């Protein structure tokens, strides 16, 4: 097994210099640092993680608390993409990730806080969970470094997708296409994401002078194809149906799109539709779905960087809300009205 001493001999430098180079210290020259890392790689050096953890008083392990109410788990496109980016960034900084036990069905399970302590994680990212859960609140109030995704706590770093601007841009695009009868099937009313999107929807309509009848607003859980199909059918059965239906997310929109097609209607000739999230499948729906792409790669990357900063530089890290803008993707599912 290759040691730092072996690398030091090969490079003609001290063991201390090798240690500083491999740990990214700034008090040695960049050329020396690159040379040491190159030699270490060529010699097949692999750091002893246990020794590193003891020396630095860190486990170099980040916890992930992810509980999806729809039980789609890591097939949940939006959060899966964020967590994949989070994982890649964490690994680049020398950290591993481990999932915190979120299943409350197990009789032997322990609280989230105790689970974090048991697994010795240095910090935790929390996504897609009931933030009102007493166990989650207990974790938030602990002294463990934490970053939340799409939810704000006053004393914690939050990484947010700009749902307000995303909805405004989407509504504006549909309006510019000539639509005034615009319906919206939103997700669960209790979620912050839904509240922000719905408020932005109404505010956009008001600013453009568009009146939204109460019957044009309906609710179906995110990613729920079956209920979205039922609600879509209800909207189409109205005496004065909408000319465009906005769905809560791209995945759920497939329920509405299939229902529309089953009625012998064509998109967008007979009715226009739009989604939200910008998941890959939206590009392959026929016709390509008009949607809002959420910058999941950027969100995951920044979440990891902020969490690591909270761990390594707690006094220098701002507790802030970081809002990441998305981007409108104009597909072919919204008809231009004359």
pLDDT digits (tens, 9 = 90+) for 324-336: 999 999 999 999 9
Question: Domains of the chain by range and CATH?
Answer: 4-47 (1.10.260.40), 61-161+297-326 (3.40.50.2300), 163-294 (3.40.50.2300)
Confidence tier at 110 by pLDDT (50, 70, 90): confident
Q: What is the pLDDT of residue 75?
A: 59
pLDDT band with cut points at 50, 70 and 90 for residue 55: low
Which of these, 173, 210, 170, 172, lies nearest to 186 by C-alpha position? 170
In this prediction, residues 23-43 reach a mean pLDDT of 87
Average pLDDT for 280-298: 90
- In this prediction, residue 57 carries a pLDDT of 67
Question: Which of 27-31, 75-79, 81-85, 157-161 is the least confident region?
Answer: 75-79
Mean pLDDT of 299-315: 96
Q: What is the mean pLDDT of the chain?
A: 89
pLDDT of residue 170: 98
Confidence category of residue 244, pLDDT binned at 50, 70, 90: very high
- 182: helix, strand or coil: strand
Task: Give SS3 for 291.
Answer: strand
* Alpha carbons 212 and 23: distance in angstroms, whole number: 58
- Asked if 102 and 67 touch (Cβ cutoff 8 Å), the reply is yes
In the chain, % of residues over pLDDT 90: 64
Cα–Cα distance between 291 and 268 in angstroms, integer?
A: 14
Mean pLDDT (whole number) for 88-101 = 88
């Amino acid at each position: 097994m290759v040691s730092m001493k072996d690398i030091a001999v090969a490079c003609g430098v001290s063991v201390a210099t090798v240690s500083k180079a491999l740990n990214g210290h700034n008090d040695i020259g960049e050329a020396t640092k690159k040379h040491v890392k190159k030699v270490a790689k060529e010699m097949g050096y692999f750091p002893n993680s246990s020794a590193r953890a003891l020396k630095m008083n860190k486990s170099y392990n980040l916890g992930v608390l992810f509980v999806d109410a729809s039980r789609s788990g890591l097939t949940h496109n939006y959060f899966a993409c964020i967590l994949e980016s989070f994982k890649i960034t964490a690994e680049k900084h020398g950290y591993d990730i481990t999932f915190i036990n979120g299943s409350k069905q197990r009789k032997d399970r322990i609280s989230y806080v105790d689970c974090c302590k048991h697994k010795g994680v240095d910090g935790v990212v929390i996504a897609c969970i009931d933030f009102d859960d007493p166990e989650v609140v207990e974790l938030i109030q602990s002294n463990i470094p934490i970053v939340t995704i799409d939810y704000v706590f006053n004393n914690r770093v939050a990484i947010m997708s700009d749902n307000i601007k995303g909805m405004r841009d989407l509504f504006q695009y549909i309006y510019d296409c000539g639509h005034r009868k615009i319906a919206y099937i939103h997700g669960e009313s209790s979620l912050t994401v839904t509240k922000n999107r719905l408020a932005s929807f109404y505010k956009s309509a008001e600013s453009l002078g568009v009146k939204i009848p109460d019957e044009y607003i309906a609710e179906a859980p995110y990613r729920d194809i079956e209920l979205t199909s039922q609600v879509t059918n209800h909207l189409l059965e109205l005496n004065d149906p909408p000319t465009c239906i906005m769905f809560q997310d791209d995945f759920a929109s497939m329920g509405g799109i299939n229902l529309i097609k089953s009625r012998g209607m064509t998109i967008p000739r007979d009715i226009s539709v739009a989604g939200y999230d910008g998941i890959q499948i939206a590009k392959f729906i026929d016709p390509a779905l008009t949607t809002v792409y959420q910058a999941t790669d950027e969100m995951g990357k920044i979440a990891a960087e902020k969490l690591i900063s909270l761990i390594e530089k707690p006094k220098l890290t701002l507790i802030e809300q970081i809002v990441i803008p998305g981007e409108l993707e104009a597909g072919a599912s919204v008809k231009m009205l004359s």
